[in-house]
Amino acid sequence: MTGNSSIVVQTQFVEADGLSIFYRVAGPVNAPTLLLLHGFPTASYQYRTLMPLLAHKYRVIAPDLPGFGFTVVPEARKYEYTFANFGKTVLEFVNTLKIDKFAVYIFDYGAPTAFNLALNLAQQEPSASHRITGIISQNGNAYAEGLGTAWAPIQAYWASNSTQDRDALRPILSMEAIRDSQYLLGVPPALVNSVDPLGWTLDAALIAKPGGAEIQLDLFYDYRNNVASYPKWQAWLRERQPKVLAIWGKHDAFFIPPGAEAWARDVKDAKVILLDTGHFALESHLEEIAQEVLNFLDGVA
C-alpha cells in the first residue's frame, strides 16, 4: 500500500441540477478522477477512509446523493427521488465540475445511479463513451441473480404498492436494523470491532430528519425500475466492454455473490474478487480493497 492516510479530504458544496450538492474531494486536481457513488443507507462518509489511500495518485470525488448526507434539496425544486433522476443529477454534477473522464466506484445504490448516468451519456453524447474509463463494483448490482432473499419484503411492496407493505419496511430504517443487517451482518467475529459505530449512527440520524424516511421508502419502491432496467445495463456492458473490477463482500444478504460473478459474463476481462465480509466491505477490508482499486486504476488511467 503506497497511499497516505494523512491526506486531508476536503468537503465542499456545488450548485448543480438545482441542488446544493455536498461532496468530499482529495487528490491532485489534474490527476485521473475516480467518482465514488455511495449506497443505502449511507452517504459519502462511507468513503472517508478509502479516499486518503487513493488520493496520492488520483483525484477522488464522492458526492452525497439527493436525500442522503448533507446535500440540500430546495423544497421549491420539487425533486422526485428516483434512480433515473439520480443519474441525471450526478451527470450534471460531474459536468459542473468539468470532469471529462472518470472511473466510477459503485456501491449499492451507486450502481443504478451510475448506469443511469451512463445511459444518459450514451443518449446525449453518443461520442462520449470514453468518459467512463472503468467500473469498480463493490456490492453494486446489475443482475437479477444478485438479489438476495433479504429483498423479499421490498419485493412484496413492489407487487402490491400498498400502504401496509410500505409501512412494513419502516423498521429497516431504524438504527438497530441499519447496524445489524447492513454493517455487521456477515463480518467475521474477529473483525466486528473494526466497524466504526459512527457509520450506522450517522446514517440513522440523517434518515430520521423530517421527510427522510419517506424518501427512503420511495426509493425502495423505485428500485423495481432498476431491476427492469438490468437488461439495458447489461447490453451497455456487452457493447462498451469497460474495464471492470467486481470486489464484493460475499456475506451481504442483499447483494449476493452470483451478482458479482455475473459481471464476467458480459465483460470478458472483468476481475471478480469475493471477500470474507458483508455489505460494508470497506469497514473490515479497507487496505485490501484499496490496493485492488489502485492496481485497477493503474490499468485504466
Residue 294 within any structural domain of the chain: yes
- Cell output for 129: 463513451
75-119 residue pLDDT tens: 999 999 999 999 999 999 999 999 999 999 999 999 999 999 999
Q: Distance (Å, rounded) from C-alpha 268 to C-alpha 91? A: 27
251 is catalytic: no
Q: Distance (Å, rounded) from C-alpha 249 to C-alpha 227? A: 21
248-272 residue pLDDT tens: 999 999 999 999 999 999 999 999 9
Asked, as a colleague might, if the bond just before 41 is cis with ω within 30 of 0, I would say yes
CATH number at residue 88: 3.40.50.1820
Which is the catalytic residue, given 56, 130, 251, 279? 279
Residue 30 within any structural domain of the chain: yes
Q: Distance (Å, rounded) from C-alpha 171 to C-alpha 298? A: 42
Over range 34-38, report the average pLDDT: 99
Residue 140 within any structural domain of the chain: yes
Residue 111 within any structural domain of the chain: yes
How many domains does the chain divide into?
1
Q: Distance (Å, rounded) from C-alpha 280 to C-alpha 46? A: 8
- Cell output for 215: 424518501
